[in-house]
Structure 1
Amino acid sequence: MNKEQLLKRKAEISALLADETRSIDNLDEIGTELRDINDQLAAIEKREQLMKDAADINTGTALETRTIQKFNTENPEQRELGTDSLEYRNAFMNYVLKGEAIPSELRADAITKTGDVGSVIPQTVLNKIIEKIEAVGMILPLVTRTAIKGGVTVPTSTVKPVATWVAEGAGSDKQKKTTGSITFNYHKLRCAVAASLEVDTMALPVFESTFINNVVEAMTKAIEQSVISGTGAGQPKGILAETPEEGQALDVAKIEYKTLTDAEAALPLEYEANAVWVMTKKTFMDFAAMVDANGQPIARVTYGLNGKPERVLLGRSVVLCNYIDSFSTATAGEAFAFLFNFKDYILNTNYQMGVKKYEDNETDDLVTKAIMIVDGKVADKNSLVVLKKATTV
C-alpha cells in the first residue's frame, strides 16, 4: 500500500478502536496491523526526508555543516613528541596488544626512511627462548625407583646358603643367614626461581613455561649428579662414593684395548648380564679411535629402528653423561669410567617432585619452586668396576 492507503487504513482502525459501543474479537490482530502501518509510514517519511535533503544539496539551498574534532589541548611546547613519548609508547602498546590504530596526531608529518624503520616497527618475537642445552635424563630411567617412607631400613644379604652332596641317611651342616641393611633418610631437594610482578604480567607466555622447564631440568640434573657422585651427606650417596670390591678398581695409564679387557675380567661373571659402561662422550671417542690388528674399530656405534645411536664397547652398552670427568681432563686417582648395573641402585623418592607458584607478600614477586624428598644408595656394589687415571702416565 502507498502512503494514502496506509493513512486511510490507520484512520479506520482508529475509528474502530474509539467506538465503545462495538465489541472487537480480533483485538490482537488489529493491534499488530496498526504497529505494522506505523512502521511503514515512518520508513516512508524517512525516505521522503532523505530525498528532500538530496534535492536541496543539488539546488545549493542546503545549509553547510562542519564537524570539529578536538585533538590536542595541551601546550605544544610542553608536550613530548616523537616515538619516545609516553603517549606514543602507550598507543603503540595498545596497537600491539589490542590492535588499536595509533592516533594520527602522534605520527610525525614526514617521510619514513630505511634508517628510521627500526624505531617504529617492532621486531617479531618468536615463541621460543634459546638457551644452552644441557644433557640430562640419561641416568634416572635406569635406576630402581621406590617410594619407601624415610627412616625405613631395607635388609640386604651378602651370604647365601650352600648345598652339599650327602650319602644316604646322612644330613648336612646347618647354615645361618646373615643380613645387612640400607636406611633411607630425608634429603630435601629444592629449586626456586622468582620473577617480579611486572615481569610475570607483561612477559610472553613462553617465559613462564621456560621458567618451569628450567626448574624441572635443574632438579633432574641434581638428582642424576648425586646418583653418580653424591657424597651421602645431606644428599643421596653416589655410585662412585662406594668402595669397589677387591680387584674391581683399576688404574689406567693409557686408553688401549687391554683397558677394556681388564675391566671385563674384573667384572664378576654373575653380574655381567646387565652391567653397562658409563663415561663421557669424549672418553668414548678415545675408545672409538682404537683399532685391532686388522684396522677394524674396537668400539661400535649402531642405529636402532628409530635411528637413535646405540654405542657399544666389546658388546656392552655405553651410557654417556657429563657427571664424570673425561680421561684427558681427569686428575691422578680420579675415576673417568665405570661398569655398573643401575638396577642395583635404589633411588627413593618419599615426596615426588611438585611444582608450585606463590606470591611473596613483601615484594610482590611471583616464585616458581619445586621440592622433592630424595635419597639413594647402592644396594649391591658387586657389579661396580671403576677405572681411575693412574698416578703416573
Structure 2
Amino acid sequence: MENIKTASVEQIIARLAEIQTEMDKDDADLDALNTEADELLARKAELKSEAEEKELKRSALLNRLNEGTVVANPVSPKKEDDDMLERKAFMDYVISGKTPEAGVLQRADAAGVSSNLGVLIPNHVQQEIIQEVKKIHGRLYGKVKHLNLPGGVEYPIGSFEATFKRITETTVSDRQNPGGITGSIIFKYNIGEIRLSRTLLQTVLSVPTFEAELAKVIAEAYVKAMDEEILTGDPTKQQLEGILTKTGIKTIEINEDEMKDWKTFQKKIMAKLPLGMKNKPYEYIMSNGTFEGNIMTLADDNNRPVYTETVNPVDGWVDARIKGHGVTLVEPELLPDFDTAAAGKVFAVLWVPGEAYAINSNMQFSTVRYMDHEKNEEVTKALVINDGKVLRPDLIYQIKKVAKPTTGA
C-alpha cells in the first residue's frame, strides 16, 4: 500500500487480507510483509481510537440535549414488593406525571445509557415490550440479525459469521475465518422516540392492563419504524442505514414484457445471482400490489402458478412465496407497485435478511415527559438507542423497473 497514513479502515482490512495470502507464497518477502503489517495495524488502531473518541463525544452531546428526569444512582436488587412499587410508580409517572420517589426507577450512567434519557421503564414492562415485538412476525425487523453490542467500536464483519472446520492434533478451528469476508462496521448511539397518547393510557386503571397496553403501543410503533428504516433509512438523519439508500447495492433490471413471462423473469433473476447466494435462504420484498397484480398471474408451461399463498387461520397473516422463497409484503410508500412505478424505480428487493443486515440495540426503553408550549400540551415519549447496518451488500439485490426497449421501424 503506497500511503498507509491516509488509508481508510476498509483499505487496511483489505490489505491485511492480501498479506495473509501473499505470506504463503514461496517467494514471499516475509520481513517486508511483517513490517507492512505492523504499520497497517498501528494505523488501524489510530483510526479506531479516533472513531471511538468522536462517538463518545457525540453520545455525550446527545445526552445533554435530551430533556428528562436526571437520575444517576445504580439500581439495587429488588424484592417482589419493590417490583410492584416500581411498576405502580412508573404507571403514575406516565399517566399523571408524578415524579417517582428517590431510589425508584433510577438508572446509572453508562456508555450510551445515560441518566439524561429519562425514567427507565421497569424490567417487567421491558420484557412485555420485547414479547410484543416478537409477536409482530413476518416483517423485515423480525428477519434481520439482532445484536447487543457496545456502540462506537469497530467490528469486523466476519466476526458475525462462523465456519465449520475439522480439527486434528496439529490444527484448530479459526474463530474468525468466514470464507474471505472482509470489511468492518461501527454501530452508533442513535436515539429514537415514540410519542405516546395520554388519552389512550389515562383510561387504564390496573397496572397489568396498563403495562400490556403500553407494551403493545410501543412495540407496534417501534417495529413499523424499523421496517421503514431498514429499507429507506438515512444515517445522516440519525436513522438506520437503508438498503435502498445505500450506495453500491447491485441491481437487476426488468421491463414490463419480461415481468409478464415467467421464463424471462426467472432467467433475469437467476442469471444474476451467484451460486453461493442461490444456496442460501434468499427472500423477496415487494408491495402487495406487485405480488397480487404481477406475480400471482405468472404460471409455468403446465399452467402451474409460480407462487404459493397460505393464510394463518389464527391471526390472518398471509405467507406468500415465489418458487418456495418467502415474500415480505410492504406498503407501496416503501416499494411502489410495479404497474405504477416509473422507469428506473426499485420495486422489489431480493436478499438474505439474516446475513445481509443487522440491528444493534439493548432494547432498554426509557420515558421522558415534557411540555409542548406551542400546542400547550404535555407529551410523553419512549426513547431507545439503536442502529442498523448493511453487513453483506453482496447478499442484497435491488430489482428495478426499466423501460421496454424501442424497436426500429
The TM-score with structure 1 as length reference comes to 0.52
Using the alignment, how far apart are the partners of 2:153 and 2:274 within structure 1? 30
Greater share of helix residues, 1 or 2? 2
Residue 77 of structure 2 corresponds to none
Deviations 1:48-101 (A, max 9, x none): xxxxxxxxxxxxxxxxxxxxxxxxxxxxxxxxxxxxxxxxxxxxxxxxxxxxxx
8 Å Cα contact 2:343/2:403 also seen in 1: yes
Note the residue ranges of structure 2 that are not aligned, 5 or more in a row: 1-135, 159-179
The alignment partner of 1:349 has SS state of strand
Residue 170 of structure 1 corresponds to none
What is the identity, as a one-letter code, of the residue corresponding to 1:379?
L
8 Å Cα contact 1:186/1:375 also seen in 2: yes
Q: Does 1:266 align with 2:277?
A: no
8 Å Cα contact 2:255/2:404 also seen in 1: no
Seen in structure 2, the aligned counterparts of structure 1 residues 249 and 242 have a Cα distance that, compared at 3 Å, is farther
Q: Does 1:236 align with 2:236?
A: no
Question: How far apart are 1:192 and its partner, in Å?
Answer: 2.0
What is the identity, as a one-letter code, of the residue corresponding to 1:280?
S
Seen in structure 2, the aligned counterparts of structure 1 residues 311 and 179 have a Cα distance that, compared at 3 Å, is closer
Residue 292 of structure 1 corresponds to 300
The alignment partner of 2:309 has SS state of strand
Using the alignment, how far apart are the partners of 1:265 and 1:372 within structure 2? 42
Deviations 1:188-215 (A, max 9, x none): 111223538xx976x4558996566334
- After superposition, residues 140-219 of structure 1 pair within 5 angstroms as 140-156=141-157, 179-193=182-196, 195=198, 203=203, 205=205, 213-219=216-222
Q: Does 1:349 align with 2:360?
A: yes
Residue 328 of structure 2 corresponds to 319
Question: How far apart are 1:244 and its partner, in Å?
Answer: 5.2
Using the alignment, how far apart are the partners of 2:157 and 2:204 within structure 1? 52
Residue 33 of structure 2 corresponds to none
What is the identity, as a one-letter code, of the residue corresponding to 1:147?
N
Using the alignment, how far apart are the partners of 1:376 and 1:275 within structure 2? 20
Using the alignment, how far apart are the partners of 1:200 and 1:303 within structure 2? 33
User: Percentage identity across aligned positions?
Assistant: 25
The TM-score with structure 2 as length reference comes to 0.50
8 Å Cα contact 1:156/1:379 also seen in 2: yes
What is the identity, as a one-letter code, of the residue corresponding to 1:314?
K
Question: How far apart are 1:287 and its partner, in Å?
Answer: 0.7
8 Å Cα contact 1:136/1:220 also seen in 2: no
Question: How far apart are 1:384 and its partner, in Å?
Answer: 1.5
Using the alignment, how far apart are the partners of 1:357 and 1:232 within structure 2? 24
- After superposition, residues 1-393 of structure 1 pair within 5 angstroms as 138-156=139-157, 179-193=182-196, 195=198, 203=203, 205=205, 213-233=216-236, 234-243=238-247, 248-254=251-257, 255-256=259-260, 257=262, 258-272=264-278, 273-285=280-292, 286-302=294-310, 309-322=318-331, 323-356=334-367, 358=369, 360=371, 367-392=379-404
Seen in structure 2, the aligned counterparts of structure 1 residues 389 and 359 have a Cα distance that, compared at 3 Å, is closer
Using the alignment, how far apart are the partners of 1:315 and 1:200 within structure 2? 43
Seen in structure 2, the aligned counterparts of structure 1 residues 193 and 310 have a Cα distance that, compared at 3 Å, is closer
Seen in structure 2, the aligned counterparts of structure 1 residues 265 and 315 have a Cα distance that, compared at 3 Å, is farther
Seen in structure 2, the aligned counterparts of structure 1 residues 304 and 282 have a Cα distance that, compared at 3 Å, is same
Seen in structure 2, the aligned counterparts of structure 1 residues 178 and 200 have a Cα distance that, compared at 3 Å, is closer
Question: How far apart are 1:301 and its partner, in Å?
Answer: 2.1
Deviations 1:129-185 (A, max 9, x none): xxxxxx98611111001111111111136xxxxxxxxxxxxxxxxxxx894221111
